[in-house]
Chain A
Amino acid sequence: MRIAIEMRSVLLSLGAAWLAVMLAGCSTQGYSVIAATGTTIGVGISQNPTSGVVDATLGYKRAELAFVPTNRNGGKKAGDHFEGARDSANVIMELQYRGIFSFSADSGIYQRLAVGDIAVAQPGAAIIFAKGPDGKIDSQALKALQAVKGISPVDESIEKEKAKLSKKYLEYKQQNNAAELQKFDTAAKVAGYDSFESFSVSLTVTAEKIKLIREKLKEAGIQLEN
């Protein structure tokens, strides 16, 4: 019994020391994103003293906490790195519970939490989240995962530059200005597309092709935003 009490004291001391180190680390490092989850599911049935019916209580409680450091300064120069929060962590969280009143194999509660840019972007994270509560990946989920991954991702910068041309094209389209629309088709054909419409939805557009079409439109007298 004495050994147990001493061990408990040692563990408490270690825990306090660890907490102190952790808090000290946070204070010098600056702002952190705190990702916290708390789950409480409980059912209580009160006992009837006259009938003697026995109480039944089901409870579940858990909490998770993650400190994710950012590059934002939390000291005297707080705010110097005002864009630092953009580098703070992304968080994906999922909580499922089902059959909590049954003892079947599929009953239970599980939670998934991924914190950080790398964590949420990694294919591994997608695979973890594709797993069922039993830890297995459903064949249909795997097919869906492969199908979605097979779609070419949108290139943000290409779409931005293309949109400058598309806005002008749509303006002329609303005006039914066939002469100006023809200039867009001609410029797109120079870059190897059948028409401007096929260029605007193409997934193989490059910055060079956009530049070429811009130059041709400019030569044709079309004014575009920079």
Chain B
Amino acid sequence: MTQVRRVDLAATSDLEAEIQNLCTNMAAGGYRLASSFVYQTQLVLIFQKE
């Protein structure tokens, strides 16, 4: 099971907090961060079911 999320780097006010919150929510759902990359102005985060 894989979930993909996109963070708009140009729109976020606190990137560190946003990533932490996102990872906390995904962890509550049983997902851990497996990979991430930046494409243009978008941070793409790939989560996989633990």
Contacts and interface: CB of A to CB of B under 8 A. Distances in A.
A92 B10 CA distance: 10
A197 interface: yes
A166 B27 contact: yes
Contacts of B7: 153-154
B13 A154 contact: no
Given A154-B7, A156-B13, A148 B28 contact: no
B contact patch SS: mixed
Contact of B40 (A130, A153, A200): A130
B4 A159 contact: no
A224 interface: no
A201 B6 contact: no
B36 interface: no
A90 B27 contact: no
Interface in B1-50: 3-14, 17-18, 20-22, 24-31, 39-42, 44
Contact of A154 (B6, B24, B29, B41): B6
Nearest to A118: B10
B28 A197 contact: yes
A170 B32 CA distance: 13
B4 A201 contact: no
A149 B10 CA distance: 14
Interface stretch (A12-20, A32-40, A59-67, A120-128): A120-128
A148 B42 contact: yes
Interface string A154-167: 10100110110111
B17 A198 contact: no
A169 B28 contact: yes
B45 to A, nearest CB: 8
A197 B24 contact: no
Nearest to A160: B21
Given A151-B5, A153-B8, A163 B44 contact: no
Interface of A: 86, 90, 92, 117, 120-121, 125-126, 129-130, 144-145, 148-149, 151-154, 156, 159-160, 162-163, 165-167, 169-170, 173, 196-198, 200-201
12 contacts: A90-B10, A149-B42, A154-B6, A156-B13, A156-B14, A159-B22, A162-B25, A163-B20, A166-B28, A170-B24, A198-B29, A201-B26
